[in-house]
Homo-oligomer: A and B are copies of this chain.
Amino acid sequence: MVTKEDYISSDPSSWCPGCGNFSILQALKQALVELDLAPWQVVMVSGIGQAAKIPHYLRVNCFNGLHGRALPAAFGIKTVNHKLKVIAAGGDGDAYAEGGNHFIHAMRRNPDLTYLVHDNQIYGLTKGQASPTTDLGMKTGTTPSGSVDIPESPLAVAVAMNCSFVARGFAGDIPHLAGLIKQGINHKGFALIDILQPCVTFNKINTYQWYKDRVYKLDGEPGYDPSDRVKAFEKALEWGAKIPIGVIYSKERPVFEDSIFKPGDASLSRQPLNPPDFVKLLEQYL
């Protein structure tokens, strides 16, 4: 049995005290332990940002790449190691600004990845600039008169891209978040979990309290059917007095790896190299 101790990392965290990232880390560890996954069976891939430091703070395989580029790296890693659990993570800037194009196209491919977006609606590591999810009117270092670009609803975009699993979590509710992460990992396909994550240093608007006052769980919503794409879209747009958390949309479809591998195939990384002789390949040009 895997325990939380197995996931202890030697690297001390560099987050601010009180940061929502700690709760996400805790929820993630809890999910991995409950799924009985050993550290070596998991790969975490991240970009750059405060959120993107997370793989260092638990013991897992880690590829901490470039700002905005977690998903393509994760895709490459997963494709050649389709038996490993691959989890990508990063901030809202990482995911939706610098990484916006990869976000869109990863959903088209539907690789079996879980993507945790620590959405603090701000650029933390660079000390407080607007992100694609920053609320209208918010003043930041780069929006001194208030942000004028309307915020992106990553969930609505995900539903529009027919992302096979779309959920929202809240760092203020660890058990619920751990449950979502488990569902995301178990989901066969690309699972987006956008996580409301208070940044105690740079976002003085969307605080723990602000979120607490608004979030409600979809799980309890009678008759909500997360496989209805149009309904899911409507739900994804809800952002104001009430903000839903839970699974917004879920619909399995073939994953990218299915187009390459048959059940039982070894990972590409585990197959012996033995390439074909060039003489054989040249035959067609005789």
Residues of chain A whose beta carbon lies under 8 Å from any beta carbon of chain B? 97, 100-101, 104-105, 108-110, 132, 145, 148-153, 156-157, 159-162, 229-230, 233-234, 236-237, 253-254, 256, 259
Question: Would you call A132 and B108 a contact (CB within 8 A)?
Answer: yes
**In the complex, which of the residues B101, B104, B149, B233 contacts A108, with contact meaning CB atoms closer than 8 Å?**
B149
Question: Would you call A108 and B161 a contact (CB within 8 A)?
Answer: no
Q: What are 13 A-B pairs at a CB distance below 8 A?
A: A100-B104, A105-B132, A105-B149, A108-B149, A108-B150, A110-B149, A110-B150, A148-B254, A153-B160, A156-B160, A156-B161, A157-B160, A233-B233
Q: Indicate how many identical chains form the complex.
A: 2
- A144 CB, nearest partner CB in chain B, Å: 12
Question: Would you call A108 and B152 a contact (CB within 8 A)?
Answer: yes
- A133 CB, nearest partner CB in chain B, Å: 10
Contacts of A254 in B (CB 8 A): 148
**In the complex, which of the residues B150, B151, B161, B259 contacts A152, with contact meaning CB atoms closer than 8 Å?**
B161
Complex CA–CA separation, A230 to B233 (angstroms): 7
Contacts of A233 in B (CB 8 A): 160, 230, 233
Complex CA–CA separation, A229 to B233 (angstroms): 10
Q: Which residue of B lies closest to A150 (CB)?
A: B108
Question: Would you call A162 and B150 a contact (CB within 8 A)?
Answer: yes
Complex CA–CA separation, A145 to B260 (angstroms): 11
**In the complex, which of the residues B104, B151, B234, B236 contacts A157, with contact meaning CB atoms closer than 8 Å?**
B104
Contacts of A109 in B (CB 8 A): 148-149
Q: Which residue of B lies closest to A98 (CB)?
A: B101
